[in-house]
Amino acid sequence: MITILLLIIVPIAIWIFLKVQSGKYTDADVSNKDERVYFYLALIPILLVSSLITYIYNQPNYIYNGIIITTILIFACYLINYFSKISLHVSINSYLAVSLFLFSPVLSITWLIITMIIGWSRIHLNRHSKSDVLLGFIMGILAGIVFLNTQNKFNYIPTVQIKNDEFTTCENSTINEVTNGLLEVHPKESFIDEPVFITAFKLEPFQNAVIRVKSTDSSGNKWESFACYQANESGIINLDLQEPLNQSSYIGRHAMGLFWSMKPERLEPFQYGTNLDFDISLEIDHVETEKVTITRKTYHDLSSLQIIKAEIRDDIIGNFYQKKDSKSKPIIVLLGGSGGNFQNNKATYLAAKGYPVLDLKYFGDGHLPE
């Protein structure tokens, strides 16, 4: 969103403001049909430059594709403008409404309703005729459908740079013989804040491979990430030492990159209410050759964490947490925000790390102030 704001919305807003101030545009809507010709001619280069920047800086695939399709939509509106003053408000918003289906069907439908209200307002304000609004709606819907068809969230194979400097997919078209390789992941069980180390080995030197991580959170939402790597001269891929190739789920060298870059099927926060399994797979030329399942544990189970919880209901109201046989560490006092409630998850987490924790309520319970 910040990328779109900085590259497109801000420059367009500045352009319109300057043109209105200079008197070259009648209003900020650019509602004059003749003035719109020059607006389109200014808008298209801005979009083209933005698409180039997003490509160079390896922005997410949906942003790059979205800007390209927006450029095509604007160019189509530019041509239509010679015959009909198509509603750009409705066209862009209907395009956005359909595109949002990729992230949230509810948000998509909501935005579609908003677009209909915008269309009604354009007619009511005498900015457009009904046919202008309808044409804008149709163009936006079609552009949105094209955008959705360009997106394959989970099975997209990235374009990568291989050793001989040719661009290709993550396949191994330049290597005569490839091996399936082996995948090593450790530890098999770990807490959610502890590192996981992933290594693929017994590959051919400079062989390409995809490593993919999948999980389903506590709410049933599916999450996934992937990255294409090139083995070193020893046929090893070590996520702690190597960067993924272009257009993977993340960029840069990060041992835990495949975890923090996971993307959801539904645009909702990750729910970590229980221990969760993560499937980590190795793929060679679109074929899964190895899969390892690990468990990421939460800090909810006090007994397994050997944490003693004592309830205090005297002059103060609170819960005291302490791990058995923990070494002496400073005591942490937890006070909630405006809700004033206990913070069980935070208290358990800190106690698991060896800190004695006093989790206090300070209003709204028993003799405490209301």
Q: What are the 10-residue block averages of pLDDT along the chain, 370 residues in total?
A: 64 77 76 77 85 74 82 90 88 91 84 94 89 93 88 39 40 70 91 91 90 93 93 90 86 91 88 89 91 90 81 87 83 80 84 89 71
Note every long-range contact of 65-69, with CB atoms under 8 Å and residues 24 or more positions apart, other chains counting.
65/147, 65/150, 65/151, 66/99, 66/147, 67/4, 67/7, 67/8, 69/95, 69/143, 69/146, 69/147, 69/150
The count of C-alpha atoms lying within 13 angstroms of the C-alpha of 137, restricted to the half-sphere facing its C-beta, is 18
pLDDT at residue 211, rounded to an integer: 95
Give the Cα-Cα-Cα angle 107, 111, 115 (nearest 5 degrees): 170
If phi > 0 it is left, if psi is from -120 to 50 it is alpha, else beta; for residue 202 that is left
Q: Is 209 helix (H, G, I), strand (E, B) or coil?
A: strand
CA distances from 341 to 50, 350, 352 (A): 47, 17, 20
> What local confidence, expressed as pLDDT, does residue 251 receive?
87
The CATH class that applies to domain 160-297 reads mainly beta
Burial of residue 200 (number of CB atoms within 10 Å: 0-12, 13-18, 19+): buried
Query: What pLDDT, on a 0 to 100 scale, did the predictor assign at position 178?
Result: 75
- How far apart, in whole angstroms, are the C-alpha atoms of residue 237 and residue 210? 10
Instruction: Return the axis-axis angle of helices 105-124 and 130-150, rounded to nearest 10°.
Output: 160
Looking at the DSSP assignment, which residues form a beta bridge with residue 208?
Answer: 230
Tokens 């840069």 belong to 252
Domain boundaries, the chain: 2-150, 160-297, 307-361
Give the N- to C-terminal CA distance of the chain in Å, as an integer: 42
Nearest to 154 by CA among 269, 55, 279: 279
Helices and strands, counts by H and E, the chain: 9, 15
Amino acid at 171: E
